[in-house]
Structures are given as C-alpha cells and as structure tokens.
Structure 1
Amino acid sequence: MTAHVTTPAAALASDLPGWATLVRAPNPGPMTLDGTNTWVLRQPGERYGVLVDPGPADAGHLDRLAAHGPYSMILVTHGHPDHVEAVPAAAERFQAPVRGLTVDHQVQEPDRLGDGTVLDVAGLTVTVLATPGHTADSACFLVAGPDGRQAVLTGDTILGRGTTVVAWPDGDLGDYLASLRRLAAYDEVTALPGHGPALTDCAAAARFYLAHRQARLDQVRQVVARGVTDPAAVVAEVYATVDRALWPAAEWSVRAQLAYLRASTDDTAGDRESTPGRTGLDRQ
C-alpha cells in the first residue's frame, strides 16, 4: 500500500535567494497547508518588484504586500481562488499588469504568457514554464538573478510538503506526469512552492512525485482490475488511510487516474487495430 505523503518531497531549503521574499497568506487549511505563499521577487537595489500569486482576498495580506512594493508586474501560477482571488484588488492598488497562462484572472484583458516567454523584470530574468496537470493553466517560473542563483516557483505543481491533487476535469494526469518530467531537469535548483516550505532541489522533488504518482496509479489499476470503477469506491480503497476530509480532493485525482487509464487502454486498442496483418480473429 502506498502511504499518504505528508512530509517534504526533498530537503528543506535553509536559505532563500536574496531576491525572493515570502509573504504567506492567513488562509491555512487541509488544501492550503500553512497558507498560500505569495512571493515577492526583487533584485536588491531595484525599485520595482514582481508579485507572484497575490493570494486570497484578505485586506491584511494586501497591506503586507503593499509594504514590499511598488510592483511592476503581477504573475500568477494558475487560476485557483486561493492564488488569484486578490488579483483584482492588487492590480488596482499597485497599478501593475497581470500576466499568466490563463486568459481570465478576474481582470480585463490580462496579458497572456506563452511557454518559454522570457521576462526581464526587477533586475531578474524570469522564464515561463508551462506545466499543465494540476490545472490546465498551471505555470512555473524559472528565475535567475545576476548572482547566478536560480529558483523555480512551482505554484501547486510541487508543494513544499506532501503531494498535490490533479484537479480533474481541468487537470490532466498525463499532462501532470509530463510536467513533472520537465521539472526533473532542474537539479539542485531551489523550489519555491505555492504552499509549504521552500525545497533545496526541484528535480529531486519532481522525481519523488513521479514515483509516488506511478505507485498510486498502480494501486488504482489493481482496484479497477477487480471491477471497482466508481471513483468514490476507488478512493475508499486506495486512500483508506487518508483523512476523510481529504477524500473529495482525492476523488479529483482518482477521476484523473481513471481517465488516464481509459485513454491508455484506448490507445493500446487503437495500436492493435492499426497493426498490419492483424485480423479480427487475431484480436479475439
């Protein structure tokens, strides 16, 4: 049985880059851990910073963010409310454009980013990494400072503690596995997550997540092979040791896993159908 993961997927970072400041929102909970991490990026000496994920609509949190301003840009990792609910208020208060992969963060005509877009802001170089899976619009940001220090802001694709959900139907497991494989290339690069503590090694965390996801998928595959296909029933078996308060979120991931298995089965059947020289009798 694959255990429920509540610990960090890599060693904790003992220090942050000098250009990264964490301002944690006061919204702790089972899904948000200690609260949503809002990141302020600014090379020392630069007037304007970059605000990443303004977080929930909380006046006190917005005041704390204002103390670290001014800002030339607001970046968002994905469109879940605990990350973007404060976007309209932050955009108005700081008079900063909002940028992300999605086309709607509750502001008019946000500036949509593309995979590989490079931004030179706040004395830093920020490269956009499209990492769909947790949600369709999930992005990570690879940030490099003039000192050579790098970090990846991972949003909810990699958390500082435990694992994340594939938020089906918007999220997709195949996309998520591909995104983790992409992040596994950033060896010994600090991960600055959307929730939980910073990690020393983005690649190590991504590889841990990949192994865990494959193990969970194997469990689901075994349960399905016994004829259990109802998502809630699969959750009850595969996530039996997990706090029931998390079962609704676990069902998102299970539905994503079931969709992934169905697609894999369909692909295999299609390959058999298209194999030259095979007949209907061969396939019986």
Structure 2
Amino acid sequence: MTEPVEQWTTLVTRVRASNPGPMTLDGTNSLVIRAPGHDGVVVVDPGPEEPEHLERLAGYAPVELILVTHHHRDHTEGIGTLVAMTGAPVRAWDPAFSRDAAPLGDGERLDVAGTRIRVVATPGHTRDSISLHLPDDAALGRSPLDSPRAGGTMVTGDTILGRGTTVIVHPDGAVGPYLDSLDTLEGFGAIPALPAHGPMLPDLAAICRHYRGHRQLRLDQMRDVLRSLGAAPADDPALVDVVVDHVYGEIDPEVRFAAVASTRAQLEYLAAIL
C-alpha cells in the first residue's frame, strides 16, 4: 500500500485517510493544493472524522479554503473539526456544506493559494458532484503546456475513481447526467485525473471513454435481461433483484447495495429512453 502522503503533481499532495473499505478502496484521498512559493493551501475533501488525518491536513496551515467534491460522509464528516482547527471557509455545490462562503457555481474560477481552480459541474454519481480543473498544474517533471487541449490536471472526486468504476447512487445520482459529465471531462483531453479514491490516473480522456464503454455494456446487459423476461424497465424491487443477479453475478454481499443503486439508476434511464 502506498504511503498516506504523496506528492502527486506540481501543485497537489495526496493525503489519504485511514478508512479503507469496499467503497473507499485504500481510503479517502484528501488533496492539498499549494503553488510553489506560496504559503497558503486549499484542502479538497476533508474526509472522515479521523483525528490523525485531520491534524495532518491542518498542519499545512494556513488553509485558505476548503472545497468539497460532493456530500458523502467519507468526504465531509471531518469538515467541522477541520474548520475549528484552521478557521478556513468551506465551499461546496450544496449550500448545506458551505461554511462562511457562498456555494460553488459551474464554470466559476477561484484564485486562491497562488493558483487558479475552475469548478466543473459533473453530476451523476450524486446530484452535487463537482470536479476541479487546475490549469496551472502538471504531472511531476512536466509543464501544463505539455498537455494537449486544456492542459493542467483534473480533481475528479468520485466521478472518476483510481480503480474500478463509479456507483450511480440512485435516486440522488442519475445515468443521463453521468454520461454528460463523462463527455464534459473527456473534452479536457489527456490530462492527469486526481480521484478521491485510488491512485492518480495519467489520461482523463481515456478513462472517460473506458467508463462510458463500461456503462453502455451494463445497459446492454440489462436490456438483454429485460428482453428475456418480457419485462419493461421499472423501479420494482423484485425486478431490480433479478437484474442484479443476472448482470452482476456473484457479488460480495457487502457491496450488493451499490449494485442495486446503480441498477435502479440504469433501469430509470432505460425507461426514459425506450
């Protein structure tokens, strides 16, 4: 297992929480953004209420701003403690998670910690999911100008993971917006993706294409199951269970709830387009 603190890019240090699990992989990646020569930092996703982890984040003081990629507890549980430790404001898409600051808006540009951060709305995993484009960032040993198209790097929260694929958390998340979000992210080109779980990925556009292909495969499999049953897509518990059994096969009971959530979201999507 990699160390909990790792310099990922020229601007971003990954600080991993000790909350491994089937949904969090090695643990939640809190990201610390700091420009060379600048004292202040931005913390993205404080993570769980884990004292050692939050103390490590607070140690990067001064924390100028805390950003949240979405509302799930493994990203937000530690907000109150980190705010108490640093006095930093918090900004999120959902106003309920913002502290002493306005909620974030799509396309908004933040000038903070000596660098630029652009907010990119990427709903689908959840309704409030965002990504953060760092145009001044680059892989270690490279310049932002070396990357095609937009350049920089992309903080992806749970919209893109370092391993596996993302759960569409129905009814909060939805397949249609998620596919649109993949299109949006792919447009930034072959830049590094910095996820909230798992390792950094070198090519955002390629992983978006992979995710889209995976999602289309699942949708095709569900169409086949519905056709064999002579059933229409519906959010019916009995039908959902049958589809999960056929499409996901032998699945760890610990993560079956995630397959059920994604299946419900995909059936809802199929019902809308058929």
Shared fold, TM over 0.5: yes
* Structure 2 partner of 1:248: 257
Out of 24-33 and 89-98, give the one that drifted further. Answer: 89-98
Contact 1:123 1:145 in 2 (8 A): no
Q: Secondary structure of the residue that 2:154 maps to in structure 1?
A: strand
Task: Indicate whether 1:213 and 2:207 are aligned.
Answer: no
The alpha-carbon distance between structure 1 residues 226 and 128, as it changes in their structure 2 partners (threshold 3 A), is: same
1:264 aligned to which of 249, 267, 273:
273
Contact 2:90 2:99 in 1 (8 A): no
1:143 aligned to which of 105, 111, 134:
134
Give aligned-pair identity as a percent. 47
Distance 1:264 1:135 in 2: 21
Distance 2:7 2:128 in 1: 29
- One-letter amino acid of the counterpart of residue 204, structure 2: C
Shift of 1:110: 4.7
Q: Secondary structure of the residue that 1:129 maps to in structure 2?
A: strand
* Structure 2 partner of 1:22: 14
> Aligned runs of 1:61-72 on 2, under 5 Å?
61-72=53-64
Distance 1:243 1:110 in 2: 41
Contact 1:97 1:111 in 2 (8 A): no
Out of 163-172 and 180-189, give the one that drifted further. Answer: 180-189
* Structure 2 partner of 1:281: none
Task: Indicate whether 1:239 and 2:248 are aligned.
Answer: yes
Distance 1:175 1:57 in 2: 30
Q: Gaps spanning 5+ residues in structure 1: where? A: 1-13, 266-284
Q: Secondary structure of the residue that 2:15 maps to in structure 1?
A: strand
- One-letter amino acid of the counterpart of residue 25, structure 1: A
* Structure 1 partner of 2:28: 36
Shift of 1:18: 1.7
Shift of 1:97: 0.8
* Structure 1 partner of 2:83: 91
Distance 1:144 1:43 in 2: 12
**TM (normalized to structure 1)?**
0.85
**What are the Cα deviations for residues 87-110 of structure 1, in whole angstroms up to 9, with x where unaligned?**
1111221111111111112x6565
2:113 aligned to which of 100, 122, 132:
122
* Structure 2 partner of 1:280: none
Distance 1:153 1:27 in 2: 20
Number of aligned residues:
251
Larger-Rg structure = 1
Q: Secondary structure of the residue that 1:29 maps to in structure 2?
A: coil
Contact 2:89 2:99 in 1 (8 A): no
Stretches (4+) displaced over 4 A: 107-110
Distance 2:192 2:69 in 1: 17
1:182 aligned to which of 175, 184, 195:
184
Distance 1:92 1:31 in 2: 28
Q: Root-mean-square deviation (CA), in Å?
A: 1.7
Distance 2:61 2:214 in 1: 39
**What are the Cα deviations for residues 21-49 of structure 1, in whole angstroms up to 9, with x where unaligned?**
00000000000000000000000111110
Contact 1:104 1:110 in 2 (8 A): no
**What are the Cα deviations for residues 37-86 of structure 1, in whole angstroms up to 9, with x where unaligned?**
00000001111100000000111111111222221100000000000011
Shift of 1:225: 1.6
Distance 2:101 2:115 in 1: 22
Distance 1:88 1:108 in 2: 9
Q: Secondary structure of the residue that 1:113 maps to in structure 2?
A: coil
**TM (normalized to structure 2)?**
0.88
Shift of 1:244: 3.1
Distance 1:15 1:47 in 2: 16
